[in-house]
Amino acid sequence: ALSKSANIDKPAKYSVPTLCEMCVNKCALIADVQDGIVKKLNPNPLFPKSRSMLCARGAAGIHALYDPDRLKTPLIRVGERGDGKYKEATWDEAFEYIKTKLVKIVDEEKDNRSCIGYCAGEGMAEHTFKSFMANKFGSTNFLNHATLCLQTTIAGYSTTIGGYGQADLENAKYIIMAGANRAEAIVTPDTMDIFKRTRGRGAKLITVDPRYTNTAMHADLHVPIKPGTDLAFVLALTYVVISKELYNKEYVKNNFNDFDKYQKHILESEYKPEWAEQITGVPAGTIRTIAHDFMAAAPQAVYYQGRRSTWTKNDFQLRRAMALFSALGGGVDVKGGIVFGSKLPLAAHEINTPLYFNAEPRIEGDAAAIIGSSGSWVEWRNMVEADKAPYPIRGMFVYKQNPMLSVPDTARTRKVFEKMDLVVVIDTMPSDTALMADVILPECSYLEREDPIRSFAGIEPAIGLRQKVIEPMYDSKPVIEIMRGLSAKLSKPLWEITKKHDEDVQDELEGEDELAYYQENGFDLTEPYLHSQEELNKHAFVEKYGEEAWKTIRKTGVYYPGMEASFKKINNNSYQYYPEDKKVYSVLPVEEKTDASPADIAPWKRTFNTPSKKIECYLGNFAKKGIDPMPTWRQEQHVDVPAGKFKFITGRHALQTQNSTQNNVMLLELMRENFAWINDAEARKLGIEHGDTIEIESSVGAVQIKAYPTPKIVPETIFYVHGFGAKSDGLTFAYRNGASDNEIIEAGSEPVYGSAIMHETLVTVKKV
Amino acid sequence: MMNYAMALDYQNCINCRACEVACKEENGVQLGADKQRIWVGIVEGSSNGKPFVNLYPSQCNHCIDAPCVSVCPTNASHYIKGGIVKVEPDKCILCKACMESCPYDARFIDDTKVSVDKCTFCEHQIEETGTTACQATCPTKVRTFGDLDDPGSDIVKLLKTRKFFFQKEEIGTLPKLFYLVPEDETYAQQSIGPNTKIHTWEEIQPLYERAAITRSQSWKQ
The pLDDT, as a whole number, for residue A10 is 76
Mapped to the 3 state alphabet, what secondary structure does A378-446 carry? HHHHHHHHCCCCCCCCCEEEEECCCHHHHCCCHHHHHHHHHHCCEEEEEECCCCCCHHHCCEEEEECCH
Q: Which residue of A has its CA nearest to B50?
A: A711
For residue A199, the chain B residues in CB contact (below 8 A) are 11, 182-184, 187
For every residue of B86-102, DSSP letters joined together read: EE-GGG-----HHHHH-
Q: How close are the terminal C-alpha atoms of chain B, in Å? A: 10
For A53, which of B11, B133, B138 is closest by C-beta distance? B138
For A191, which of B53, B139, B184 is closest by C-beta distance? B139
Q: Does A15 touch chain B (CB under 8 A)?
A: no
Per the CB < 8 Å rule, is B17 touching A56?
A: yes
What's the average model confidence in pLDDT over A689-700? 98
Amino acid at A120: A
Q: What is the CA radius of gyration of chain B?
A: 17
What is the pLDDT confidence band of residue A58, given thresholds at 50, 70 and 90? very high
CB A226 within 8 A of CB A282: no
Count the alpha carbons within 13 Å of A515 in the hemisphere toward its beta carbon: 0
CB A205 within 8 A of CB A171: no
What's the average model confidence in pLDDT over A37-55? 97
Candidates A708, A698, A681; CA nearest to A765 is A698
**DSSP code of A131?**
I
Amino acid at A683: A
| d(CA B144, nearest CA chain A) in Å | 7
Torsion of CA A156, A162, A164, A167, to 10 degrees: -120
Report the alpha-carbon angle A710-A716-A718, nearest 5.
60
**Residue A13's beta-bridge partner residues?**
A34
Q: How far apart are CA A653 and CA A184, in angstroms?
A: 4
The pLDDT, as a whole number, for residue A590 is 67
Amino acid at A552: T
The pLDDT, as a whole number, for residue A246 is 98
In three-state secondary structure terms, A675 is strand
What's the average model confidence in pLDDT over A60-70? 98
CB B140 within 8 A of CB B30: no
Residues 143-202 of A with CB under 8 A from B: 183-184, 186, 188, 191-192, 195-196, 198-201
Q: Does A212 touch chain B (CB under 8 A)?
A: yes
Q: How far apart are CA A551 and CA B68, in angstroms?
A: 51
What is the pLDDT confidence band of residue A592, given thresholds at 50, 70 and 90? low
Sequence-ordered strand ranges (E) for A432-487? 439-442, 454-456, 462-464
| d(CA A754, nearest CA chain B) in Å | 33
Cα→Cα distances A600→A99, A274, A513, Å: 63, 36, 65
The pLDDT, as a whole number, for residue A3 is 44
Per the CB < 8 Å rule, is B32 touching A41?
A: no
Residues 681-720 of A with CB under 8 A from B: 710-712
CB B137 within 8 A of CB A54: yes
Chosen for mutation from B137, B144, B154 (greatest number of chain A CBs closer than 10 Å) is: B137
Q: How far apart are CA A215 and CA A203, in angstroms?
A: 14
Whether pLDDT at A244 is above 70: yes
β-pairing verdict for A28-34 and A395-399: unpaired
Whether pLDDT at A4 is above 80: no
Report pLDDT digits (tens) over A414-456.
Answer: 999 999 999 999 999 999 999 999 999 999 999 999 999 999 9
β-pairing verdict for A116-120 and A86-88: unpaired
Range of the domain at B15: 4-218
Candidates A120, A136, A138, A144; CA nearest to A479 is A120
Report pLDDT digits (tens) over A533-574.
Answer: 999 999 999 999 999 999 999 999 999 999 999 999 999 999
**DSSP code of A359?**
P
Q: Which helix (H) or strand (E) holds A599?
A: none
Q: Does A571 touch chain B (CB under 8 A)?
A: yes
CB A121 within 8 A of CB A97: no
Q: Quick one: angle between helices A230-243 and A259-268, nearest 10?
A: 110
Residues 116-135 of A with CB under 8 A from B: none
Whether pLDDT at A310 is above 60: yes
Candidates A722, A637, A714, A635; CA nearest to A678 is A714
Candidates A145, A169, A175; CA nearest to A308 is A145
In three-state secondary structure terms, A472 is coil
- The rounded Cα A260 to chain-centroid distance in angstroms is 35
Q: How far apart are CA A438 and CA A76, in angstroms?
A: 6
For residue A218, the chain B residues in CB contact (below 8 A) are 14
Report pLDDT digits (tens) over A362-393.
Answer: 999 999 999 999 999 999 999 999 999 999 99
Chosen for mutation from A65, A181, A199, A655 (greatest number of chain B CBs closer than 10 Å) is: A199
Whether pLDDT at A280 is above 60: yes
How much is the ipTM here? Answer: 0.96
| d(CA A325, nearest CA chain B) in Å | 28
Q: How many domains is chain B partitioned into structurally? A: 1
Chosen for mutation from A33, A669, A672, A712 (greatest number of chain B CBs closer than 10 Å) is: A669
The pLDDT, as a whole number, for residue B217 is 85
Whether pLDDT at A159 is above 70: yes
- Phi (first) and psi of residue A577, to 5 degrees: -105, -70
What is the pLDDT confidence band of residue A9, given thresholds at 50, 70 and 90? low
Sequence-ordered strand ranges (E) for A2-54? 13-19, 28-34, 37-43
Q: How far apart are CA A298 and CA A339, in angstroms?
A: 14
| d(CA A205, nearest CA chain B) in Å | 13
Which CATH number is B54's domain given?
3.30.70.20
What's the average model confidence in pLDDT over A111-135? 96
Report pLDDT digits (tens) over A645-657.
Answer: 999 999 999 999 9
CB A483 within 8 A of CB A135: no
Q: Which helix (H) or strand (E) holds A679?
A: strand A675-679
Report pLDDT digits (tens) over A473-498.
Answer: 999 999 999 999 999 999 999 999 99
CB A347 within 8 A of CB A546: no
pLDDT in tens, chain B (221 residues): 899 999 999 999 999 999 999 999 999 999 998 999 999 999 999 888 899 999 999 999 999 999 999 999 999 999 999 999 999 999 999 999 999 999 999 999 999 999 999 999 999 999 999 999 999 999 999 999 999 999 999 999 999 999 999 999 999 999 999 999 999 999 999 999 999 999 999 999 999 999 999 988 888 75
Domains of chain A in start order, with CATH, are 151-334+601-624 (3.40.228.10), 639-767 (2.40.40.20)
Average pLDDT of chain A to the nearest whole number: 95
**DSSP code of A583?**
S
The pLDDT, as a whole number, for residue A423 is 98
What is the pLDDT confidence band of residue A5, given thresholds at 50, 70 and 90? very low
What's the average model confidence in pLDDT over A165-169? 96
Q: Does A53 touch chain B (CB under 8 A)?
A: yes
| d(CA B61, nearest CA chain A) in Å | 20
Sequence-ordered strand ranges (E) for A272-379? 301-303, 338-339
Per the CB < 8 Å rule, is A192 touching B184?
A: no
Hey, how many other C-beta atoms are within 10 angstroms of the C-beta on A257? 17
With residues binned 3-state (H G I as helix, E B as strand, rest as coil), the percentages for chain A, rounded to 5, are 35, 20, 50
What's the average model confidence in pLDDT over A586-592? 71
The pLDDT, as a whole number, for residue B47 is 87
